[in-house]
Amino acid sequence: MPPLLCFLSSPLLGPSVWRPVTDALEGSGWQTLIVSAHEPPPTGSGDVLTSFLRQIPGHESVALIPHSNAGLYVAPITESRAVVATVFVDARLPSGESRAALAPAPLLEFLAARADDQGLLPPWTQWWPEDDVASLFPSVDVRAGIEGEQPRVPLAYFRDSVDAPSGWDTIPCAFLAFGATDSEETREAERRGWRVRTLNGGHLHMLVDSAEVAAQIETLLTSMRLHES
């Protein structure tokens, strides 16, 4: 039987970001589960990992499909779940070190300037210029739905790091990039010999063209022979 596809949402977003893609893949016969850690807002990496593990079943084979910084949690998840493959979707990759910083120094400095007096950051879409944010969404209604799920995460969350145990990449892995064909993550995926696909789009391209994103994920999964009976 093919594995259960576990779609990991960024802790800065909610489950709706993946819904159009999972609907498309279920129509093709896959079983899917959206895994989200946005409620309550995480205060550290341990909160996110605990939430992810609580939702991912421990009794069956799963394929992880993380987006954005949810990719950093793949390594510790593989230690306690039967992960048979991972397709990173415009996601950060686990560090080659024993722990991976949630935010590199330049990003941490950028975020520190945006935290309020209680140390809380604004919702993710308020970090960036409006023109850049608007282009991520196919409609005003879709944007409203996504923004309604965004948590306010404390700056302290980004001062934390994620455990990166070795061996997580011994299973088949692939990378689906949105837009940037020469990103650090894309180059690293190619260096590791993974299958890499690129779609021309923004960071939330799964909302703009869910059918194509679903098709690319399915192609990558099928290339790993995960849809064979």
CA distance 181 to 24: 25
pLDDT digits (tens, 9 = 90+) for 98-142: 888 999 999 999 999 999 999 999 999 999 999 999 999 999 999
pLDDT band with cut points at 50, 70 and 90 for residue 172: very high
pLDDT band with cut points at 50, 70 and 90 for residue 80: very high
At residue 226, the pLDDT reads 65
At residue 181, the pLDDT reads 63
At residue 140, the pLDDT reads 97
pTM summary value: 0.95
Return the percentage of the chain with pLDDT > 90, whole number.
Answer: 89
Going along the chain from its start, the domains and CATH numbers come out as 4-223 (3.40.50.1820)
Residue with tokens 């970001």: 17
Evaluate whether 159 touches 100 at the Cβ level (below 8 Å).
no
Name the least confident of 103-112, 152-161, 173-182: 173-182
* Residue 90 clears pLDDT 90, i.e. is over it: yes
Annotate 52-96 with DSSP letters as a single string. HHHHS-SSS-EEEEEEEGGGGGHHHHHHHS-EEEEEEEEEPPPPS
CA distance 168 to 3: 17
Sheet of 83-91: strands edge to edge? 32-35, 4-8, 62-68, 83-91, 173-178, 195-199
pLDDT digits (tens, 9 = 90+) for 65-77: 999 999 999 999 9
β-bridge mates for residue 34, sequence order: 7
pLDDT band with cut points at 50, 70 and 90 for residue 95: confident
Sequence-distant (6+) residues with CB within 8 A of 77 are 49, 52, 53, 56, 64, 83
Considering only CA atoms, give the Rg of the chain: 17
